[in-house]
Amino acid sequence: MSSLHGFILHAYTKPEKSDDFEALFRSYVAPSRLEPGCIEYHMLRDQQDPSLFIFYEIWQSREHLAVHENLPHMKQFFETRMDYLARDFEVRMIDMLSPSCANR
């Protein structure tokens, strides 16, 4: 499994921008899951702190993620992300130790 590229990302949004952030990224989930190399793509919202969004992503390789990150909508968001965020992303790289259950 170590050839997979995975991370967990925490996005702390400005409270007044949280719903806008959610709406924007909800529209990205389905298309992202259809991209080549996407194994897992999940967006979660913390129940105790609704300004915190957590992304769990597993990609077949770093190269597949790089293609995703360079899509026009992702590049445009990255340039304007601080309009939504209270502080920049916190990213933790992870190793996937168990197989994906997405294709049961």
- Domains of the chain, each with CATH number or no CATH: 5-94 (3.30.70.100)
Burial class (CB in 10 A: 0-12, 13-18, 19+), 72: exposed
pTM: 0.88
Q: What is the DSSP string of 6-70?
A: EEEEEEEB-GGGHHHHHHHHHHHHHHHHHSTTEEEEEEEE-SS-TTEEEEEEEES-HHHHHHHHT
Question: Taking residues 51-67, what's their average pLDDT?
Answer: 95
Predicted pLDDT at 45: 98
Predicted pLDDT at 7: 95
Predicted pLDDT at 86: 98
CA separation, residue 102 to residues 4, 19, 80, 88 (Å): 15, 27, 32, 29
Q: Has residue 2 got a pLDDT over 60?
A: no
Give the model's confidence band at 90: pLDDT under 50 very low, under 70 low, under 90 confident, else very high.
Answer: very high
Predicted pLDDT at 104: 58
